[in-house]
Chain A
Amino acid sequence: MANDHIDLVVESGQIHSLLGENGAGKSTLMNVLYGLYSPSSGQILVDDVPVSFSGPADAMAAGIGMVHQHFMLVPVFTVAENVALGAESTSFGGVLNLGDTRRKIREISAQFGFDVDPDALVEDLPVGVQQRVEIIKALVRNSKILILDEPTAVLTPQETDELMEIMGQLRDSGTSIVFISHKLREVKAISDTITVIRRGKVVGSAPPDTSTTELAAMMVGRAVNLTLNKADATPGAETFKVSNLTVMNDSGHRLLDNVSLSVSQGEILAIAGVQGNGQTELTQAVLGLHKHVLGSITLDGKELVGKSVSQVLESGVGFVPEDRQDDGLVGELSIAENLILDLYKKAPYSRGGTLNRSAIAQNSVEKVSEFDIRAQSPRDAAHTLSGGNQQKVVLARELSRPLKLFIASQPTRGVDVGSIEFLHKRIVAERDAGTPVVIVSTELDEVLELADRIAVLFAGRLMGIVPGKSSRALLGLMMAGLSAEEASEQMQSQKESGTTGETGEGVQL
């Protein structure tokens, strides 16, 4: 059961936040409100009138619009075609008349300062603009209630600020907004009311001035330690070096452009940036998963570029991929088998070409207890585990070899808060054991939590490397394409003109 007897009242002209962990049932609830899923019991009232939705068309007719977490836009269509789809204005015989739609898009665009070209192809637009197209889609349909499902997950801090401003404008023009998020900071900054959901149930409401720790406790169900206690790094020798690394796709477009960085033993370097700015390619290049790589990557003085994946792993690289279900685990195999995916060829797991079942079982029992993997039995298929426990399996496997370099991509994406704490502690422990650690994360909170130094990637280029305790505003500017120097200059000049309060820091507590 994803939702269990949920009661929710959204007042008109309000921003009502729905706070909950990944998998708490927020999205399910909203998909019910939008007519995508049908509820097994209970009812929905709009303006005190009971409604029943057999599909999204009914929900839209009742004035509910939704901006999905994964945009519902056809990439090869223009903005106007996407907005028109499903509510097209036509002339005789069903012939499309997009002029009308273009005019409406321009109107809304002007009203809220969206700057959206109705004739641009959606696939050519940056993510932030695509999101505005989604909002326009809802507004064109005269939505009174707008549901935003994790809208900030794909945005830079600045884009997030802009979105918050748009949400404020919409509220002032009388639209009710349901804002779904698991980010406490954003929820506190924008909401009129907060409803917290845990395991499919409403656990309570809170005013926006509730403290972060209180909200976190409601969300998780117990007191959580939000700050990680980690000692300052004691960097040793620089053993991992990336110099002038360029990665290209098949048509020669640079996905990673001349990136140089190095990581010392006993240090965590976090790679920050909005999704899709070259982070994936960087990790692929290190692992030997990418075809077109120029430049050099050395570990302990040995060149990794041009080596096969097994040679790279052999040289002591541990790697947690960003998509654990596709790349990190084989879902149909058991937990025990997943724990030895990298070592099955070696003793004691292999005995003359056959698997040593007892050694594998022995290993799984040890790892399950060491990494607190919550499973019925190590023989269960890996896909039956929750996200957090799956990630623990991946981490347990990758940390089981003696490492000279540890890379983790999105180590806590879609993982519950309890597991995040654990995973972060293990990563810091690996650092303290003297391994150079690279963390790739799009969550700024996580970057600030773990990093000793932060490298920011934008459009495949390195914007600079800054200390781990840098401000969010600075990182936000770098994530939007300013070099470290340009960003700090801009911060400086704004501080002097006294406008800092309205800028990058706007959503700060």
Chain B
Amino acid sequence: MVLELGRIPIEAIEWGAKTLIEGTVLHINRQELLERARQGDSRITGVQVDIARPGESVRIIPVKDVVEPRVKVQGKGGIFPGLVSGVETVGTGRTHVLQGCSVVTAGQVVGFQEGMIDMTGPGARYTSFSRLLNVVLVVDVQEGISRHDHEEALRLAGLRAAAYLGEAGRHVDPARVERFEVRRLLEAKPPATDLPRVAYVYMLLSQGLLHDTYLYGRDVKMLLPTLILPTEVMDGAIVSGNCVSACDKNTTYHHQNNPIIQELMARDGIDLQYVGTVVTNANVTLRDKMRSSEYAVKLLEMLGADGAVLSKEGFGNPDADAMMTCSKLEERGIRTVLLTDEFAGIDGASQSLADTTPRADAVVSVGNANEQIILPPMGKVIGDIRVIEKMAGGQSGCLVEGEIRAELQVVMGATNELGFETLYARGE
């Protein structure tokens, strides 16, 4: 099973008469993009679009999701299966990636926990999204619709826009093609090697209407942990529907570019055998947490894993899911490394996690989300800056003449728990 990712570098975006790629320039027909994003969704009353480029004095707020434009050019299925394409299994054939750009969904705030992206200044250091050419959709929805509808309308608009832009890359010759081969691991005779067998436990947040993740369009709340091909993830099989704290929500872009999967694929056959990826969830009841952790661990035992990487999303009660799973893996002799962010207080002096286990003895920290940052005013704001006071990590009075004093928590992806960034917190 092979997926080729053809990477098309995008270095500039311009408005144009026709949506197409010329060299490394993406030309976009603005009207068509708006129509495709909206696609007759009656919940949406208006969409505006703007471009935010790296280095510009631009602040985007509130951001809901970030999506990378991709297109499936060969093989079964389409991009974002179950949501904007059918439900055929993806992950094989060829997919083209418009690398270096994204679709950012913004507009009215859906929940408390959307985030912001600064295209320059100190805030830009914390998130890779500041280094992308961002096509920002500012979506207005009907007054009075439920938050659930609001979230869904935005989520689908973002996916449709990304799929539409991705189409521009269908017939373009990619600058670079990466080949990802997934071996059939459950074959009778596994290849003789003494490399350690490593699996990935991919925890998806699934807490309720505004804290959800979708697998082939299915809300993962009802999921019993299951296996997924790493290449399916690259084709958009996992989509974020999350309004959880900006810093540690796994956006759709993060899923599409999951760095743990990239790392394990790159090292497969060199210093480890990547034996499988198990997606599990993080639900709201103890019973669900126990069931999912039990089941996920069982799948890893079936895979014969010697070791596991366990990634997280969110904080607080998901710490319990992570600790429970980590503890059970270690009990079964599966050596585990857990990635988590920390909520150690503004001064960094508090305990970082809501739940702990002595068995979590190998932890990668992706930073203290409570640490304060000062973000100077930007020349232009896309969206509505006043919502910062209501955001997780902001507080009333944190905005003074365009300058924001808030917790790192407000920056999209700053403490991403898939390990997307280089930030970490250390004991001093």
Co-assembled chains A and B:
no
A residues with CB within 8 A of B? none
B residues with CB within 8 A of A? none
